[in-house]
Amino acid sequence: MARSLSQTIAAWRRRLWRRCFFWAVPHLEYKPWPFFCFRREKIGFSAYSVVSAVYNSALYLDDFFRSLTRQSLDFRRHIQLVMVNDGSTDGSAAVIEKWRKRYPDNITQLRKENGGAGSARNAGLPLARHPWVTFIDSDDFVHPDYFLQVDEALKARRSRRVTLMACGRVQYLEAAQRFRNAWSGLTISAGRDLKEHPHNDLEDDLCLVTNSAFFLKEEIERQSLRFSEANWPSCEDGDFVLRYVDGSAEGRVLFYGRPKYYHRRRRLKNSLCDTAVNKKEFYLDRLEGAFERLLADLAAKHGRAPAYAQRAVFCHLAQTWRDAAGRPENLDCLSPAEKMSFLNLSRAISARLDDELILNSDFPAALGLSASPDYRRLFLKHFKNAGSARPDDLSAIISDLRMARQATPAG
């Protein structure tokens, strides 16, 4: 049926404004805005559901919705947004409702009492109706071609069963209005090449996040898999990914650095990423409930935790101690007894890791582990090797780690 003049004008207005947001973003990869304004949305191969936990994100939600509704892959045909309002006390509900009225067939708002990101995602998962599910955070945004590039990669491998696809990440520093590459759980975050692995061997690549990764809905349901709702600051993602990979039926895992996910580092520094390091749960519940239990479950299942799971846990643990060595004041939230519990949990986890993996695996340079064998040997001394040479003084351990970091060559 032919469109009326008003419908045609509205369509062109959408096409024009779809890219204006990105024209204001100072990133060299963006093409000139006329290219986007006069390009028609493309019909894709598959369809995608975004389940997003929303908690007091009103300042950022318009950017979130603009980046998704103005994708080069036809939004109305291929993308569904499930917005789970997790007890927000700001104007988040009103912003979501404004966008829901514009796209009533594509956007759903679900309201619930505050229970954390894991609880919100679990509530939204049953409403996801498309084959692929991702969990974009409500204060982040994505490149205009993000979904199209994902779709094209999946179409090119449609003869194989892909179970997981992890995309590249870039940090958006809101205060400085600039971008920087970030490993953020992906060793290829700065790259563009597509890498493919068997579902049960991720080799040297890591995926510790769910917001820039795509999961098969049928695989999630087959495993009856859900996010942990325990109080694990900044950790339920890694637990979900590793259990998903371990339980997946035969297939392939893709790592693709070209589709860009933009992770916002807030100017106000009030996101969970900024505040988690000042919470005792970050050092106690997170280590015991996620890392130690995960490795124990995988070891009980396989006889030994797979190497990719060990690497992922070690990256989390090493980054936690790297930050503690750089900012010892972060540990002020712990009592003396809790500091000893933190040290003992770190040692219990390290006991489940292979020495060879700690000493010789290739890790992201951001962890401060790549260039210094002395730093890795120090880890073994303090956290794994038993005996009188292993000190129990937390201050001495932090001092040793700090000196080892400072002696690490830049690189």
Burial class of 15 by CB neighbour count within 10 A (0 to 12, 13 to 18, 19+): middle
Same domain, 331 and 221: no
Same domain, 211 and 310: no
Phi, psi of 319 (to 5 degrees): -70, -35
Count Cβ atoms below 10 Å from residue 343 Cβ, excluding itself: 19
The CATH number given to whatever domain includes residue 249 is: 3.90.550.10
Same domain, 216 and 85: yes
Same domain, 114 and 229: yes
Same domain, 255 and 128: yes
Lowest mean per-residue pLDDT among 90-94, 361-365, 379-383: 361-365
Q: Which residues of 326-338 are buried (b: 16+ CB within 10 A; e: fewer)?
A: eeeebbebbeeee
What confidence tens digit (pLDDT) does each residue in 159-214 have? 889 999 999 888 888 888 888 776 544 444 445 678 899 888 887 788 888 999 99
Task: Residue 110: give the domain boundaries.
Answer: 11-268
What confidence tens digit (pLDDT) does each residue in 376-402 have? 788 888 888 766 566 677 888 888 877
pLDDT higher than threshold 70 for residue 14? no
**pLDDT band at residue 96 under the 50/70/90 scheme:** very high
Lowest mean per-residue pLDDT among 91-95, 348-352, 405-409: 405-409
Q: What's residue 256's pLDDT? A: 92
Same domain, 318 and 208: no
What does pLDDT average to over the chain? 83
What confidence tens digit (pLDDT) does each residue in 263-274 have? 998 887 777 676
Same domain, 16 and 163: yes
What confidence tens digit (pLDDT) does each residue in 330-340 have? 899 999 999 99
pLDDT higher than threshold 90 for residue 87? yes
Assess contact for 220 and 133: CB atoms under 8 A.
yes
Q: What's residue 408's pLDDT? A: 53
Give me 163's structure tokens: 């179970």
In a domain, 133, yes or no: yes
Dist. CA 22–CA 143, nearest whole Å: 8
Q: What is the mean pLDDT of residues 226-240?
A: 85
In a domain, 250, yes or no: yes
Same domain, 239 and 286: no
In a domain, 38, yes or no: yes
Same domain, 116 and 152: yes
In a domain, 6, yes or no: no
Domain boundary residue, one of 235, 268, 301: 268
pLDDT higher than threshold 80 for residue 115? yes
Same domain, 332 and 261: no
Same domain, 64 and 169: yes
In a domain, 90, yes or no: yes
Dist. CA 205–CA 363, nearest whole Å: 9
pLDDT higher than threshold 50 for residue 75? yes
Domain boundary residue, one of 268, 299, 333: 268
Nearest to residue 55, comparing CAs of 144, 117, 132? Answer: 117
Q: Which ranges of 103-160 does DSSP label H, i.e. alpha helix?
A: 117-124, 146-156
In a domain, 273, yes or no: no
Same domain, 264 and 297: no
Residue partners of 221: CB distance under 8 A and separation at least 6? none
In a domain, 35, yes or no: yes
What share of the chain has pLDDT > 90, as a percent? 49
Q: What's residue 32's pLDDT? A: 38
In a domain, 5, yes or no: no
Q: What's residue 323's pLDDT? A: 83
Q: Which residues of 218-252 are buried (b: 16+ CB within 10 A; e: fewer)?
A: ebbeeeebbbbebbbbbbbbbbbbbbbbbbbeeeb
Q: Which ranges of 188-285 does DSSP label H, i.e. alpha helix?
A: 217-222, 236-247, 272-275, 280-283, 285
Domain boundary residue, one of 209, 236, 268: 268
Overall number of domains in the chain: 2
Count Cβ atoms below 10 Å from residue 31 Cβ, excluding itself: 13
Q: What's residue 10's pLDDT? A: 57
Q: What's residue 34's pLDDT? A: 43
Dist. CA 54–CA 86, nearest whole Å: 6
Query: Which position has the token pair 């930050």?
Result: 323
> Side chain identity at 380, as an amino acid letter?
L
